[in-house]
Amino acid sequence: MTRKISVLLVDDDPLLRRLVTEQLSRSGFEMAAAVSGEEAIEALQATDYDVVLLDMRMTGMTGLDALREIRRLDDPPEVIMLTADTSLGTGIEAMRLGAYDYLTKPATLDEMEAVIRKADEKRRLVRQNAGLRAAATRGTSSGEEGAHTLVHASEAMRGLVSIAESAARLDSTVILTGESGTGKDVLARFIHSRSARGDSPLITINCGALPEALFESEFFGHEKGAFTGATAMKRGLIEAADGSTLFLDEIGDLPAPMQVKLLHFLEQGRFRRVGSTRDRASDVRIIAATNRRLAEDVQQGRFRIDLFYRLNVISLHVPPLRDRREDIPALLDHFLALYRERFQRPALTLSEAARRLLESSDWPGNVRELRNTIERAAALSETDEIEAAQFAQLAGRETTTAAAPVRAREADADVPTRTLEELERQHILRVLEETGGNRERAAIILGISARTLYRKLREYEEDGK
Ligand SMILES: Nc1ncnc2c1ncn2[C@@H]1O[C@H](COP(=O)(O)OP(=O)(O)O)[C@@H](O)[C@H]1O
Ligand SMILES: [Mg+2]
């Protein structure tokens, strides 16, 4: 562990301040001191500390008042009260106000160390939860239902999964390559969950989805006042991922200045929040993914070669679905089961012709496309047996296997005059009518996001013009 626990000692007794600061520094804590409650609060607004040791009785603001103020801070540190009072009353009052614990002076160094470490551990858990929630609200965490199972049957995937299992046991950086929709997210989650860090939440960031201006503050966090609009201190994802894994999706889209900063962090294990001069450490394992050919980006100067080598410790390539067709039947069964439950249609099955069509398709959008196709058909099929006609759009596609065109032609017999798009449109408009035009409810019934619904409705409007 390289990370030092930072401690702010607040006491108006200069001798005690010096003594405790010296002792705890020697034990490996990063120490700072304040002489009063007022000064402590100022310090905490500017800089983040893990733990505060707060004297109960001080001139000026009392310890309890300072505690109240500290607890009101955004993302407060854990506070340990120091009291000379041996009666329980004040200690209990402090705990009621949110102190982590209290120590009766004179506390031994061992006692202090033990309580500080426990307080820090609690804070770290709180922070991980907060990081996870923040990531979820930013839409960076894939809390998607059914996104955790890694279905596979092919030789190629069996080999890949076994390498991934070994990689999980190491703490090395992993880079996942493969076309969009092949399952890189799923594999990253798999590696993380089987690693020693697997009990902590995986922190995910999509490097392609974030505006360049926000990158640094998202990654490294910022101090209060670091820039216009930075009204409060904010932790970055690197801190949220302390002790866990950070999944950098679409790493090929990382802007050049951020490539430098990420490399620096990977080399040093240290970083600075925007607007801070203080180095911080975070113990993070990196898994990166890209659907680009990074080596080409390196050659063309779009991606730093040193960062490439840093990331490329263990490299796993997920083949496109068309190159591992043996996985298709297992995936079909998996997603059918998922949507049977999701749509509460326990009798849902695929007709023989439908299954053949799906198994012979080339799936340029890989597993994601297969999944979406099943989802739509499961939502729209009026019969429990989903007919090949539901997949009309697949039938016309070029396929690479020799047998496939024949199969596609067989399935052609089922193609109705209405296209899938039309069926979908009718279905959506009907549900919308049933909900009296309530789009939120309609989206829930349709099992799509409100945003997708809005987009579709806009498209219909545009078509109608
Ligand atoms: N082997 C698999 N088993 C189960 N679901 C999978 C598998 N591979 C991909 N998926 C699903 O397909 C979709 C796309 O996968 P994802 O991991 O996001 O692809 P990528 O990150 O490569 O673009 C997700 O909904 C995911 O749950
Ligand atoms: Mg992905």
Q: What is the mean pLDDT of residues 132-159?
A: 66
Is the CB–ligand 1 distance for residue 368 below 6 Å? Answer: yes
Asked if pLDDT for residue 442 goes beyond 80, the answer is: no
Ligand nearest to the CA of 317: 1
Is the CB–ligand 1 distance for residue 371 below 6 Å? Answer: yes
Residue-wise pLDDT tens digits, 195-212:
999 988 899 998 887 777
Q: Report the separation in Å between the CA atom of 311 and the middle of ligand 2, taken as the mean of its atom positions.
A: 17
What is the reported pLDDT for 231?
84
What is the reported pLDDT for 135?
55
Tell the residue nearest (CA) to atom 27 of ligand 1.
147
Structure-model confidence comparison of residues 130 and 194, the more confident one: 194
Q: Nearest 5 degrees, angle CA 370-CA 361-CA 144?
A: 5
Percentage of the chain exceeding pLDDT 70: 87
Is the CB–ligand 1 distance for residue 372 below 6 Å? Answer: no
Is the CB–ligand 1 distance for residue 150 below 6 Å? Answer: yes
Which residue in the block uniquely carries the two structure tokens 């540190």?
77
Residue-averaged pLDDT of the chain: 84
Structure-model confidence comparison of residues 246 and 429, the more confident one: 246
Q: Report the separation in Å between the CA atom of 181 and the middle of ligand 1, taken as the mean of its atom positions.
A: 6
Residue-wise pLDDT tens digits, 354-402:
999 999 999 999 999 999 999 989 988 889 999 888 887 776 554 444 3
Pocket test for ligand 1, best of 363, 371, 376 (most atoms within 8 A of CB): 371
Q: How confident is the model at residue 418 (pLDDT cuts 50, 70, 90)?
A: low
Q: Report the separation in Å between the CA atom of 370 and the middle of ligand 1, taken as the mean of its atom positions.
A: 10
Q: What is the mean pLDDT of residues 119-123?
A: 88
Query: What is the Cα–Cα distance from 285 to 135, expressed in whole angstroms?
Result: 17
Residue-wise pLDDT tens digits, 59-74:
889 999 999 999 988 7
Tell the residue nearest (CA) to atom 20 of ligand 1.
181
A 10 A CB-CB count for 86 gives 9
Chain centre to alpha carbon of residue 218: 12
What values do phi and psi take at 436, rounded to 5?
Answer: 65, 30
Phi-psi region of 386 (alpha: psi -120 to 50; beta: other; left: phi over 0): beta
Query: What does the block give as tokens for 193?
Result: 């969950």
Asked if pLDDT for residue 462 goes beyond 80, the answer is: no
Ligand nearest to the CA of 181: 1
Q: Report the separation in Å between the CA atom of 433 and the middle of ligand 2, taken as the mean of its atom positions.
A: 35
Q: What's the one-letter identity of residue 357? A: L
Q: How confident is the model at residue 317 (pLDDT cuts 50, 70, 90)?
A: very high
Q: Report the separation in Å between the CA atom of 236 and the middle of ligand 2, taken as the mean of its atom positions.
A: 21
Asked if pLDDT for residue 137 goes beyond 60, the answer is: no
Q: Which residues contact 359 (CB under 8 A, 6 or more apart)?
A: 325, 328, 329, 332
Top mean-pLDDT range of 267-281, 295-309, 380-394, 444-458:
295-309
Q: How confident is the model at residue 146 (pLDDT cuts 50, 70, 90)?
A: very low
Asked if pLDDT for residue 49 goes beyond 70, the answer is: yes
What is the reported pLDDT for 88?
67
204 in Cβ contact with 249 (< 8 Å): yes
Three-state secondary structure string covering the chain: CCCCCEEEEECCCHHHHHHHHHHHHHCCCEEEEECCHHHHHHHHHHCCCCEEEEECCCCCCCHHHHHHHHHHCCCCCEEEEEECCCCHHHHHHHHHCCCCEEEECCCCHHHHHHHHHHHHHHHHHHHHHHHHHHHHHCCCCCCCCCCCCCCCCCHHHHHHHHHHHHHHHCCCCEEEECCCCCCHHHHHHHHHHCCCCCCCCCEEEECCCCCHHHHHHHHHEECCCCCCCCCCCEECHHHHCCCCEEEEECHHHCCHHHHHHHHHHHHHCEECCECCCCCEECCCEEEEEECCCHHHHHHCCCCCHHHHHHHCCEEEECCCHHHCCCHHHHHHHHHHHHHHHHCCCCCCEECHHHHHHHHHCCCCCHHHHHHHHHHHHHHHCCCCEECHHHHHHHHCCCCCCCCHHHHHHHHHCCCCCCCHHHHHHHHHHHHHHHCCCCHHHHHHHHCCCHHHHHHHHHHHHHHHC
Domains of the chain: 6-126 (3.40.50.2300), 155-319 (3.40.50.300), 323-416 (1.10.8.60), 420-465 (1.10.10.60)
Q: Is the pTM of this model over 0.85?
A: no
Q: By mean pLDDT, which of 153-162, 261-270, 408-417 is the weakest? A: 408-417
What is the reported pLDDT for 37?
94
Q: Which residues contact 134 (CB under 8 A, 6 or more apart)?
A: 240
Q: How confident is the model at residue 405 (pLDDT cuts 50, 70, 90)?
A: very low
Asked if pLDDT for residue 298 goes beyond 60, the answer is: yes
Q: What is the mean pLDDT of residues 437-444?
A: 77
Structure-model confidence comparison of residues 255 and 450, the more confident one: 255
What is the reported pLDDT for 425?
79
410 burial level (CB within 10 Å; 0-12, 13-18, 19+): middle
Q: What is the mean pLDDT of residues 275-299?
A: 90
